């Protein structure tokens, strides 16, 4: 069983690609919608929430948990991997979404100038800039936090004129910086990918986050056979939310692009 954790619904944009790329596995998705957005919270709070999510997913039989959430990946993952797992779950793994995105962008030598948009916490962590410049010190990096986008998307305001205007405003600096590529460092932003592509110049490469993460995860599983994650001809996919089941089903369908059943509400 593979656990996928997000602060809300956005991680379904990543799960969607796992289901395409690795359909032979069973998944448990946990969305902490009751406490979303994580992006405006402190590192200590995000770490505690992430720990609770990990405990829950391991208690349900997951052998590995993926933090689909960029905010949790940037603020809590390292500490979970280095301090929490060795003590409490030495045979289990938790991985995030940042390394695959960084590796994919750093290896493309056509990219000289790169932009990153994410939540306040992800951008404040500076993690993308640090990791990117380690792999490619010549890269010019431009970061922008876009804190209003998550609440607008969670509210279902995806097609509203106001959302497009705010998005345009957030992207203005990156457009002026003439970036060659843009990393959508937040689970929710792929939902706006068509608008982002319309706003940014054609030559700007916009990564399909979920696709890259899923491909990298496939390689990871091939390397880590010791995890012994069962494959099945009839895999299952279960969903847990900390908020409202019917809104998870209604809005989640947009993110996952398929009908969602088997949703349970839990308290972390």
Binding site for ligand DGL (CB under 6 A): 6-8, 10, 36-39, 69-71, 119, 122, 150, 186-188
Pull the structure tokens for residue 69.
């959430």
Residue 54: CB minimum distance to ligand DGL, A: 15
- Give the integer Cα–Cα distance in Å for 185 and 195: 16
Residue 46: CB minimum distance to ligand DGL, A: 9
Nearer to ligand DGL, 132 or 186 (CB): 186
Cis geometry, peptide bond prior to residue 216 (ω within 30 degrees of 0): no
Nearer to ligand DGL, 13 or 136 (CB): 13
**Is residue 186 a contact partner of residue 117, using CB atoms and an 8 Å limit?**
yes
- Give the integer Cα–Cα distance in Å for 105 and 185: 12
Residue 187: CB minimum distance to ligand DGL, A: 4
- Give the integer Cα–Cα distance in Å for 21 and 194: 22
Query: Could you say which of 62, 69, 204, 237 is catalytic?
Result: 69
Residue nearest to ligand DGL (CB): 39
Q: Catalytic site residue 62?
A: no
DSSP state of 230: P
Nearer to ligand DGL, 71 or 242 (CB): 71
Query: What pairs with residue 182 in β-bridges?
Result: 115, 206
SS (H, E, C) 52-68: HHHHHHHHCCCCEEEEC
Q: Catalytic site residue 69?
A: yes
Residue 146: CB minimum distance to ligand DGL, A: 10
Nearer to ligand DGL, 141 or 150 (CB): 150
Per DSSP, the three-state class of 23 is: coil
Active site residues: 69, 186
């Amino acid at each position: 069983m593979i656990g996928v954790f997000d602060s809300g619904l956005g991680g379904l944009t990543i799960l969607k690609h796992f289901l395409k790329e690795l359909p032979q596995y069973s998944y448990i998705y946990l969305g902490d919608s009751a406490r979303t957005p994580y992006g405006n919270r402190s590192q200590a709070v995000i770490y505690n929430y992430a720990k609770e999510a990990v405990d829950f997913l391991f208690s349900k039989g997951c052998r590995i948990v993926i933090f689909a959430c960029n905010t949790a990946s940037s603020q809590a993952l390292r500490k979970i991997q280095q301090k929490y797992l060795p003590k409490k779950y030495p045979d289990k793994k938790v991985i995030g979404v940042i390394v695959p995105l960084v590796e994919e962008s750093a290896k493309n030598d056509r990219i000289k100038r790169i932009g990153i948009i994410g939540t306040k916490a992800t951008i404040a962590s500076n993690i993308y800039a640090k990791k990117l410049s380690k792999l490619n010190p010549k890269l010019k990096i431009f970061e922008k936090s876009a804190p209003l986008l998550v609440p607008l998307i969670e509210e279902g305001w995806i097609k509203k004129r106001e959302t497009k205007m705010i998005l345009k405003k957030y992207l203005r600096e990156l457009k002026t910086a003439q970036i060659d590529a843009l990393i959508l460092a937040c689970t929710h932003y792929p939902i706006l990918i068509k608008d982002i592509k319309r706003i940014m110049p054609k030559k700007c490469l916009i990564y399909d986050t979920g696709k890259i993460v899923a491909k990298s995860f496939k390689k990871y599983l091939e390397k880590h056979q010791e995890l012994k994650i069962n494959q099945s001809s009839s895999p299952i996919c279960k969903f847990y939310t900390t908020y409202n089941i019917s809104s998870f089903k209604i809005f989640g369908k947009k993110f996952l692009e398929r009908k969602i059943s088997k949703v349970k509400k839990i308290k972390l």
